A and B are shown apart, each in its own frame.
Chain A
Amino acid sequence: MSGLRLSLRARPPARVDGSALLPEKLQGQTLDAIRRIALPGWNEFHEVGELFEVSGEATDRLQIDQLDGSFDRLGALATAGTLVLRGQAGDLVGEGLRGASIEIEGAAGDYLGCGMRRGRIEVRGNAGHFAGSGRAGELQGMSGGTLLVRGDVGDRAADRMRRGLLLVEGDAGDYLASRMLAGTVVLLGRAAGNAGYLMRRGTVVLDQRPAQMLPTFNANGRQDLLAIQLLLRSLGGEGPRFSRLAARAGGFERWLGDLAASGQGELLVSF
């Protein structure tokens, strides 16, 4: 396998900010130079060479193995290249992503892809809370790109989402798409309570009836919307479960809300 490879030796003594480990920043550097890069921990810095076995060649592809959840902000602000993360990927992976591709062959922590603007993140396992949302204080969540989770997402996924695409094969926790501003969410599993809470605009496609429908959503009848057909057809490449949804979707129950906010959002529930 080409590219640079970092393999975690042992669990670091505290959480570490891994945002310096970007393919675009490491590309072309010698392995020794990479080993000397200091990553900020809680009260001290840790050199890459102390934390990881470093091998391969620094190209536009970086793979990090044996991750144990102690590294945060991996791939944050990345603009180019491919980052492959194996194991438990920590919080804030792909924060503010601007164009690279991140593949997580494992699970991700909280705030996956929060504030991402472009690019693509794909997780084979589950993601924690606030996937595709924004961090505390931010007025917007993710505003572009594609975030695909094959497993489940926790609470508050797509909170304040502004634009872009969140695809989830598994279930979603409470408050899916809360305060959503715009953008598109497709959920194949089941949403727990309060889906669409205070959403202003945006589209949430639910392949299963959610656990609860908020009383501030109005039923808009059964609809067969061409735009949604086209959207779902465009997802055919994201795996067999999405192409099956596209093939069988005859129409949706459309719910408009949240009327407690501006009420221009829509929940589209398969039937």
Chain B
Amino acid sequence: MLTRIAGGRVIDPANGVNDVIRDLYVRDGVIVDAPRDGERIDRTIDAAGMIVMAGAIDLHTHIGGGKVNIARALLPEFDRLDPMPAHGVCEPCTGGAAPSTLATGYRYAAMGYTACFEPAMLPVNARQAHMEMGDTPIVDKGAYALLGNDDFFLQLLASGAEQREIDDYVAWTLHATQAAGIKVVNAGGISAFKFNARSLDVDGEHPHYRVTPRQVLGALTRAIDGLGVPHPLHVHGSNLGVPGNADSTLATIDAAEGRRIHLTHLQFHSYGTEGDRKFSSAAQRIAEKVNASPNVSVDVGQILFGQTVTCSGDSMMQHRNARHARPAKWVVMDIECDAGCGVVPFRYRDRDFVNALQWAIGLELFLLVRDPWRVFLTTDHPNGGPFWSYPHLIKLLMDRSFRNEVLSRLHPEAATSSTLASLEREYSLYEIAIMTRAAPARILGLADRGHLGPGAAADIVVYEPHSDPEVQFTAPRYVFKDGTVVAERGEIKAVTAGSIHVVKPEFDRGIERKLDDWFRRHHTQSLASFKISDEEVCVCGRAPKLVTHACTHRG
């Protein structure tokens, strides 16, 4: 069947197309060239006057794995406040601070998002994470496996293993857990917490292994580059949320020594210690460094006001944050010695100085990092706020007067302690399309997503233009997923199943001999059952397709 999306204003930065009126053609779920004369067009969708973009991609959103499920179990009271009764093709489910898998899929798709990446998949939890992602309808999924706090890796590093062996272990982990990338959370710090350390800066020594976070970052960025994995090492830095942590963040960038590195939820890592309250914005310093370092990409982790729940592998920092839990209940736990897990519910308040300044710092970063190909739109869902507040966030970026009007209602010192009020930049639609489509596809190595050229998956969003970007981005006129209309005007029309995205770099399988022995001595399961096969991940992950992306990135 051939579908024509006719006459829309196409914005497709990956192909350098900015607001050009043209037709798009879709056949069998894929965007194709214009047909030759006389070929039958089965269906025409009139997009005249409307804006056409590729489906949006969220490269950092916590949608599966142990910690999200713990958050769901911890906070049923917020589910009850946000019921989603059965409606049309949708099954009944609940949203809330930690939304159900169904609500996650429905709300992302209704908003024009067609792919979501779970950034913190604990290898030992990978099976659970894939099943939860499989339960999340419509959108494509992928996940980053966590390394850098696991004992096998830290022992390799401490014993002076060759980089080649570390590369093999990283590659083996990507295969075994069916991951799309590697993330490190508080490098070495989560493990150090288990040895009673309460903080670990970039050059601090792990109390047991005697290695530093700088060494962990060095080894892992080298491995990612050496293996040609498209997504840079995804880094949740040291000292999350601690005033003055900007120094740690700058040191983290230096630790990459020019190799590719992605700093996630940078807002939580851009704090200074100036002022009476010893808490200030370091967004300017951080943004300057990012602008000057082409090997660095970032996502912001914007906070938005209201109730949410913070879910992190960083048990060291979540233990520190637990005293701020609202409601006053929290979970910090170890998961099979593989890393950690901390779930702390939180309410960001606009009249609170710290929260208001966090809000301003996030927006400063968005506006001060100049290259939209290297800064991504996230709230670190649900940590900074729910993903369904993205349209509001886009409005804050596109509309300076709205931004300043919101700023004027916050704790007054947020404005005086940051440069936000003076920043004039307003994002264009083209830049929004870069940061939410083209750039995430590029940085994840997704050759067939995030653009509208022939051969791309027909993940397409058609927006009715509106003077208020929040309205425009909340409920697009049409959302196509692999060529199927899955949503219209915010309402789900078809519930499809998304693909799973993975990478499988080549490596020397000899590493399995060492790992097999390790599993026999220390694990609760055998190496053979730890590994997830292609067939299993598709069956349990309910994925019609496993999409393996090439590991050809060099340098």
Point out residues on A near B: beta carbons under 8 Å.
40, 42-45, 135-139
A residues within 8 A CB of B77?
A: 135-138
A135-B80, A139-B327, A139-B328 given as contacts; is B86 within 8 A of A44 (CB)? Answer: yes
Residue B85 at the A interface, CB < 8 A? yes
Cβ of B329 within 8 Å of any chain A Cβ, yes or no, is: yes
B352 to chain A minimum Cβ distance, whole angstroms, is 21
Question: How far is A42 from B86 in the complex, measured between Cα atoms in Å?
Answer: 8
15 further A-B pairs in the complex, CB-CB below 8 A; given A138-B77, A139-B329? A40-B83, A40-B85, A42-B86, A43-B86, A43-B92, A44-B86, A45-B85, A135-B76, A135-B80, A136-B76, A136-B77, A137-B74, A137-B75, A137-B77, A139-B328
Instruction: Determine the residue in chain B with the shortest Cβ distance to A45.
Output: B85
Closest B residue to A95 using CB positions: B80
B contact residues, total (Cβ < 8 Å): 13
* A42 / chain B contacts, CB cutoff of 8 Å: 86, 92
For the residues of A in contact with B, the DSSP-based class is: loop
B323 to chain A, nearest CB (A): 16
Nearest CB to that of B76 among chain A residues?
Answer: A137
B336 CB, nearest partner CB in chain A, Å = 26
Q: How far is the CB of A110 from chain B (nearest CB, A)?
A: 15
Contacts of B80 in A (CB 8 A): 135
Bound Cα distance from A30 to B80, whole angstroms = 30
Q: Which residues of B contact A135 (CB under 8 A)?
A: 76-77, 80
Report which B residues bind A (CB closer than 8 A).
Answer: 74-77, 80, 83, 85-86, 91-92, 327-329
Q: Could you list 22 examples of A-B contacts with CB < 8 Å?
A: A40-B83, A40-B85, A42-B86, A42-B92, A43-B86, A43-B91, A43-B92, A44-B86, A45-B85, A135-B76, A135-B77, A135-B80, A136-B76, A136-B77, A137-B74, A137-B75, A137-B76, A137-B77, A138-B77, A139-B327, A139-B328, A139-B329
Bound Cα distance from A137 to B83, whole angstroms: 16
Nearest-neighbour CB distance to chain B for A178, whole angstroms, equals 17
Cα–Cα, bound, A138→B80 (Å):
11
Give the A-B pair count, Cβ closer than 8 A: 22
Distance from A162 Cβ to chain B, minimum over Cβ atoms (Å): 13
Which residues of A have CB within 8 Å of B83?
40
Q: How far is the CA of A42 from the CA of B91 in the complex (A)?
A: 10
Residue among A42, A135, A137 with the most chain B CB within 10 A? A137
- B327 nearest CB neighbor, chain A only: A139
Contacts of A137 in B (CB 8 A): 74-77
Considering the chains assembled together, what is the distance between the CA atoms of A52 and B92 in angstroms? 25
Chain B residues near A40 (CB-CB < 8 A): 83, 85
Query: Which residues in A have their C-beta under 8 angstroms from that of B75?
Result: 137
A35 CB to closest chain B CB (Å) equals 20
Complex CA distance for A89 and B267, rounded to whole angstroms = 51
Which residues from B are CB-within-8-Å of A44?
A: 86
Report the nearest A residue to B85, measured CB to CB. Answer: A40
Residues of B contacting A45 in the complex (Cβ-Cβ under 8 angstroms): 85
CB-CB under 8 A from A139, the residues of chain B are: 327-329
A138 to B83 alpha-carbon distance, docked (Å): 17
CA A139 to CA B76, docked complex, whole Å: 11
Contacts of B92 in A (CB 8 A): 42-43
Closest Cβ of chain B to A93, distance in Å, is 16
Taken together as a complex, chains A and B put the C-alpha atoms of A44 and B90 apart, in Å, by: 11
Chain A residues, Cβ within 8 Å of B327: 139
From A40, which residue of chain B is reached at the shortest CB distance?
A: B85
**Nearest A residue (CB) for B78:** A137
A40 to B80, CA, bound (A): 14
Q: How far is the CB of B482 from chain A (nearest CB, A)?
A: 27
The residue of chain B having its C-beta at the shortest distance from the C-beta of A139 within the complex is B327
A43 to B329, CA, bound (A): 32
Q: Return A248 CB to nearest CB of chain B, in Å.
A: 43
A42 to B80, CA, bound (A): 14
**Nearest Cβ distance between residue B89 and chain A, in whole angstroms?**
12
User: Which B residues are CB-close (under 8 A) to A138?
Assistant: 77
Closest to A134 in B: B77
Q: A137 vs B76: C-alpha distance in the bound complex, in angstroms?
A: 6
CB neighbours of A136 from chain B (8 A): 76-77
Give the Cβ gap from B70 to chain A, nearest Cβ, in Å.
Answer: 13
Which residue of the partner chain B has the closest CB to A138? Answer: B77
Contacts of B85 in A (CB 8 A): 40, 45
* Minimum distance in angstroms from A200 CB to a CB of chain B: 14
Query: Shortest Cβ distance from B473 into chain A, in angstroms?
Result: 29
- Whole-angstrom distance between the alpha carbons of A88 and B91 in the complex? 29
CB distance from B97 to the nearest CB of A (A): 11
Residues of A within 8 A of B329 (CB): 139
Alpha-carbon distance between A206 and B200 when the two chains are bound, in angstroms: 55
Please, which residue of chain A has its CB at the minimum distance from the CB of B74? A137
Look across to chain A and name the residue whose beta carbon is closest to the beta carbon of B73.
A137
